[in-house]
Copies of this chain bind each other. A is one copy, B any other.
């Protein structure tokens, strides 16, 4: 094996190449109001939506979408961008969502709870993310009396959210852990700490694209700070494991790994059509390539491309709905164009590896 260059090592050890996004969510309910699944009074539900919308728009610009009138296509679009949850449809008759213009904040109304405040950010900064959403929570609490118990804390529709109502989630890109099948060992360890690991697209989903979400399971009996600190420590441990596994994978798999990455890049930049599933797999290889210093490219741009290539987002990009087949063609064409623009730092590398014979 050739020795890795310095630029490559630093790239490999960059936390940005492992931690994708941080999400903080607070669950709140309106005092003396039935939970959404039993909230028959549509006018009462709407009043809450209007109240929250008015309050938030005082501070910054939010778009309000009522679920009952939102076209399916638009629902899929927001869902693919992680701005709304699956559960929000269930109470479609009364539910709504407020989305900030930069899409960093989404406040879901009448999901499982009356109010679910979410903040998303790039990278790992749980404290900053929490402060941002806590500020928003304070604003809402000024106009809406929350359902709160001195002993239990915030009351929620489901007991798993009781207490702080806080869920801190970090999305991690773990190609080495996934490919070396290490998650089976890590997951029970995290569970022991009161944390869960899920695939990228929520509960029950596979680890498509080597993405995993680590979040706290327990919301009760710990302070907000304790939860944040628990998640952060667990994330840092997993990040370190991933970086170690990447180094090992590179040492053991050297040119096979480079080959896999370059083949996926070759297919993505040349193919005529590609479906969602294969696209995710190949993009994961390319992201791995970026993290190994093989390409000049930002993980954020690649993640944005992945989101943009999901079905409803692709339709939006195209300006009109596409058949599944044409979506695969458009995906190949669009992503190919973007990726062809990415600079390969490889020719020297290929020769270097080869001359190492």
Which A residues form the contact surface with B (CB < 8 A)? Answer: 255-256, 258-259, 262-263, 265-273, 322-323, 326, 329-330, 332-333, 350-351, 353-354, 357
Contacts and interface: CB of A to CB of B under 8 A. Distances in A.
Contacts of A329: 255, 353-354, 357
A75 to B, nearest CB: 24
A332 B357 CA distance: 15
A194 to B, nearest CB: 43
B266 A350 contact: no
Count copies of this chain in the complex.
Answer: 2
Interface of A is mostly: helix
A353 B271 contact: no
Contact of A357 (B272, B322, B351): B322
Contacts of A273: 255-256, 259
Contact of A266 (B258, B271, B326, B330): B271
13 contacts: A255-B273, A262-B270, A262-B272, A263-B270, A266-B270, A269-B270, A272-B350, A322-B357, A326-B354, A326-B357, A329-B354, A329-B357, A333-B354
A223 to B, nearest CB: 51
A238 to B, nearest CB: 29
Given A263-B270, A266-B268, 11 more contacts: A255-B272, A255-B273, A255-B329, A256-B273, A262-B270, A263-B272, A265-B270, A266-B266, A266-B267, A267-B267, A333-B350
Given A266-B267, A267-B263, A267-B266, A272 B333 contact: no
Nearest to A262: B270
Contacts of A333: 350-351, 354
Nearest to A329: B354
Nearest to A336: B350
Contacts of A272: 255, 258-259, 262-263, 350, 353
A68 to B, nearest CB: 32
A269 B271 contact: no
A329 to B, nearest CB: 5
A266 B339 CA distance: 13
Nearest to A327: B357
Nearest to A265: B270
A330 B356 CA distance: 12
With a 10 A CB-CB cut-off, give which of A265, A272, A273 has the most chain B CB atoms. Answer: A272
With a 10 A CB-CB cut-off, give which of A256, A262, A265, A270 has the most chain B CB atoms. Answer: A270
A354 B271 CA distance: 13
A256 B272 CA distance: 8
Contacts of A255: 272-273, 329
A330 to B, nearest CB: 6
A239 B142 CA distance: 82
A267 B264 CA distance: 8
